[in-house]
Amino acid sequence: MKVDIKKINDYTRELDIEIAWSDLKADFDNSLKKFSKKVKIPGFRPGKVPKDRLLNQYQPNIEADFMDDNFQKYYLMAIDKKNVMPVNKAEIKDVHFRMSENFKFKATFEIEPEVNFPKLKKGSLKVQKTTYVQDDSDLEDAILQLRKSHATISTVEEGAIEGDYLICTLQKLDDSGVAIIGKKFEKQYLRVGNGSFSESQKEKMIGLKPGESARVTLPVSKDGGDAEYELTVDNVEREILPDVDEKFLALINPNLKTVEELNNDVQEKIKSNFEERSKTSFERDLTDSLINLINPSFSPAMVQNYLANLVEDVKKQNQGEPLDEDKVREHYLPVAERNVKWYSIRNKLIETENLSVSKEDTEAEIERLVNRTPASEKEIRKFYKKPSNKSRIEDDLLEKKILDHLIEYAKIKEVSIATKELRGAKHEH
Q: pLDDT band at residue 428, thresholds of 50, 70 and 90?
A: low
Cα gap 341→294, rounded to integer Å: 9
The answer, yes or no, to whether residue 110 has pLDDT greater than 90, is yes
| Domain range list for the chain | 2-110, 152-240, 249-297+355-428
Q: pLDDT band at residue 129, thresholds of 50, 70 and 90?
A: very high
Q: What is the pLDDT of residue 375?
A: 84
Q: Which residue has the higher pLDDT, 23 or 422?
A: 23
Report, as an integer, the average pLDDT of 112-127: 94
Q: How far apart are the first and last CA of the chain?
A: 64
Q: What is the pLDDT of residue 298?
A: 96
Q: What is the pLDDT of residue 47?
A: 73
pLDDT (tens digit per residue) in 38-63? 888 877 777 788 888 889 889 999 99
The CATH architecture annotation of domain 152-240 reads: Roll (3.10)
pLDDT (tens digit per residue) in 366-406? 999 999 888 889 999 999 999 999 999 999 999 999 999 99
Q: What is the pLDDT of residue 48?
A: 80
The answer, yes or no, to whether residue 191 has pLDDT greater than 80, is yes
Report, as an integer, the average pLDDT of 311-334: 90
Report, as an integer, the average pLDDT of 283-295: 96
pLDDT (tens digit per residue) in 192-247? 987 667 788 889 999 999 999 999 988 876 555 788 999 999 999 999 999 999 89
**To the nearest whole number, what is the mean pLDDT of the chain?**
92
Q: pLDDT band at residue 167, thresholds of 50, 70 and 90?
A: very high
* The CATH fold of domain 2-110: Alpha-Beta Plaits (3.30.70)
Q: What is the pLDDT of residue 197?
A: 74
pLDDT (tens digit per residue) in 399-417? 999 999 999 999 999 999 9
The answer, yes or no, to whether residue 346 has pLDDT greater than 90, is yes
Q: What is the pLDDT of residue 224?
A: 58
Q: What is the pLDDT of residue 417?
A: 94
The answer, yes or no, to whether residue 363 has pLDDT greater than 60, is yes
Q: pLDDT band at residue 330, thresholds of 50, 70 and 90?
A: very high
Cα gap 272→63, rounded to integer Å: 69
